[in-house]
Chain A
Amino acid sequence: MNLLEIENLSISFGGVKAVDDVSFVVEEGSVYAIIGPNGAGKSTIFNLLSRFYEPLSGQLNFAGNDLLELRAKDIARLGIARTFQNLELFEHASVLQNLLVGRHVHNSQSWWRQVLFTSSVIEAELEHRRKVEEVIDFLELAHYRNQMISGLPYGVRKKIELARALCIEPKLLLLDEPSSGLNPEETEEMGFWIEDIRRDLNMTVVLIEHDMSLVAEVSDRVLAIVDGKVVTEGDHTFVQSHPEVVSAYLGDVQ
């Protein structure tokens, strides 16, 4: 079954067609990778899915919902979580607080109950905490639980952003360059986690990635885009050997 269906998606910034007539479908329970050189429009697709940008034309369907009818703040509630290429953590809050914000979509307490901190709020908070602790165990973040983000190294922050997205308990996880800025060991670890997320947490994953070994390791299907246009789609060996992909990355043979 298709979880995510994107049809004829286009957006332009000024004269630049950042995403040009892109269509693809992501099957439920699969790992789908998007590759392409810098400026190809990969992150723009994510930002369109998050509804940060308004597309020029096209259809975005997620599990029977038309995303174009929703606003950015409603996307998480549907079960779509994402990470950011340049990390968008809450710097002046602790790791625990960051992860608890991930539980925001599951909060149903009215504001006056929260001001009075009634027993129902306490119950809900404890439940959120238990869920967050599960994610902390899963990603082995216990050591950092009470530290401020602003004092943590980049690799750990990357993991925390993934953890925060998992706290939403999403159906679809959008990872924007999960391995950028990580060393080879951390990248390998990230690969294992993506597999675990798909297998143990039953989430569908779409990732943008430059590291071809990671793409080869985790992805079921690969989409290559260059200058906003789809070049090819298929499994990773097929896409990687496609002449247009090769020329986009390495340049033409003289």
Chain B
Amino acid sequence: MRILFKTNYKQDLNLAKHGGHRFWYGLLILVLFAAPLILGGYYIGEATRILIYAMAGLGLMVLTGFTGQVSLGHAAFLAIGAYTNAWFLAQGFSSFVALPMAALLSMIGGLLVAIPAARMSGIYLAIATLAFAIIVEDFAGHLNSITGGNRGMMVDVPTLFGYQIWESWELYLFVLSILVVATLAVLNILRSPLGRAMIAVRDSEVSSQALGVNPMKIKVFAFTVSAAITGLAGAFLAHYMSFLTPQIFGILLSIQLLLMIVLGGLGTVHGVFFGAVLIGVLETGISIAKDTLPSSIGGLPGIEPFVFGVILISVIVFEPTGIYGRWIKIRSYMEFFPIYRRKSFKRQRTYLKTERLR
């Protein structure tokens, strides 16, 4: 068991709180960047998909996990990012233009949704964002000149300094670097006044106002940041898919994203990554299982939603705090080994009931 001896308030501001953090997170980043040396092309491709999910989940977590605004339409921002990126690349721009434009246009989309959506909450907000996603999907299907409509469009490979990224491991490293930067940005927001204001709006909008927080402004900010990060993820998703059709960005993708952050653990950055890994590995696992199982079982339609549904229900019933919540319990069990008590994580009575997500 580690006892931290704090001598300075600055220690509480550091991202890595102690040597253990520095070592393990450093090792994780090192292993992730070295992964192409070990893993073959197929698994690197799967890992890229997980990273893209993580990036999209990070965007959604900012909005849903930390600001408490449910979005059932995040696939729309993925679509905006994907098509913007693909269009700019097709016009001959490099990724240096295409990626920021993807983030920017998504941001503008986020802003447009946020202005009415910041006045809504709960189920109404979910319906409004869902409607937005359907509108964007429809637009993508009809804007033939830009998106190729329902026939779809090819996506050019990303280019940096005139260098074309063809190899899957190169794309992997590209996505990983941007994801690291995005994660750091989110962590910075969370440890500054803005992040605290977001949590305040999530947990009690009334008292956040009484403390001088403008909930409208915070929600709009959260929507914008969330849309920008998700838009970037969309841009990379375009490269991963290499062929875009509007059907990719349907309601199922939005639900999958939401599922991911709930499974991982709402309101934690760790949860995003746990959720992304779980969903990514499950998808791969299911598709492998489909091939190996006898066709009478493997060929059944709807296995994927079924498995996801079962997992979602069991997580909600047995571990509402998600995988990260469970991990914290396991970790404290090991830290406090002989004296750990299950009661230490027992949920306390809540003394007030207001509308909130967690």
Residue pair A92, B203 in contact (C-beta under 8 Å): yes
Which of A96-104, A194-202, A222-230 lies at the interface with chain B?
A96-104
CB distance from A44 to the nearest CB of B (A): 14
On whether A105 and B348 interact (CB within 8 A), knowing A114-B189, A114-B194, A125-B13, the answer reads no
Determine whether A117 belongs to the interface, using a CB cutoff of 8 Å to chain B.
yes
Determine whether B57 belongs to the interface, using a CB cutoff of 8 Å to chain A.
no
On whether A150 and B352 interact (CB within 8 A), knowing A76-B212, A104-B213, A109-B193, the answer reads no
Kindly list chain B residues whose C-beta atoms are within 8 Å of the C-beta of A115.
185, 188-189, 192
CB distance from A37 to the nearest CB of B (A): 23
Kindly list chain B residues whose C-beta atoms are within 8 Å of the C-beta of A97.
196, 199
CB distance from B202 to the nearest CB of A (A): 8
Kindly list chain A residues whose C-beta atoms are within 8 Å of the C-beta of B267.
92
Residue pair B188, A154 in contact (C-beta under 8 Å): no
Determine whether B221 belongs to the interface, using a CB cutoff of 8 Å to chain A.
yes
Give the A-B pair count, Cβ closer than 8 A: 122
Query: What string of 1s and 0s marks CB contacts (under 8 Å) between B199-237 and chain A?
Result: 110111011111111110000010000000000000000
Q: Size band of the B side of the interface?
A: 35 or more
Q: Pick the contact of A100 from B185, B196, B212, B347 — CB < 8 Å?
A: B196
Determine whether A84 belongs to the interface, using a CB cutoff of 8 Å to chain B.
yes
Residue pair A117, B191 in contact (C-beta under 8 Å): yes
Residue pair A73, B13 in contact (C-beta under 8 Å): no
Determine whether B197 belongs to the interface, using a CB cutoff of 8 Å to chain A.
yes
Tell me the interface secondary structure of chain A in the complex. helix
Within residues 100 to 140 of chain A, which ones have a CB less than 8 A from any CB in chain B?
A: 100-105, 107, 109, 111, 114-117, 121-122, 125-126, 128-130, 133
Residue pair B193, A150 in contact (C-beta under 8 Å): no
Kindly list chain B residues whose C-beta atoms are within 8 Å of the C-beta of A76.
210-212
A103 to B193 Cα, complex, angstroms: 9
Residue pair A105, B212 in contact (C-beta under 8 Å): yes
Determine whether A82 belongs to the interface, using a CB cutoff of 8 Å to chain B.
yes
Residue pair A130, B209 in contact (C-beta under 8 Å): no
Among residues of B, the one whose C-beta sits closest to the C-beta of A74 is: B212
A72 to B204 Cα, complex, angstroms: 14
A151 to B197 Cα, complex, angstroms: 21
**5 CB-based A-B contacts, threshold 8 Å:** A91-B204, A104-B212, A115-B188, A117-B192, A126-B9
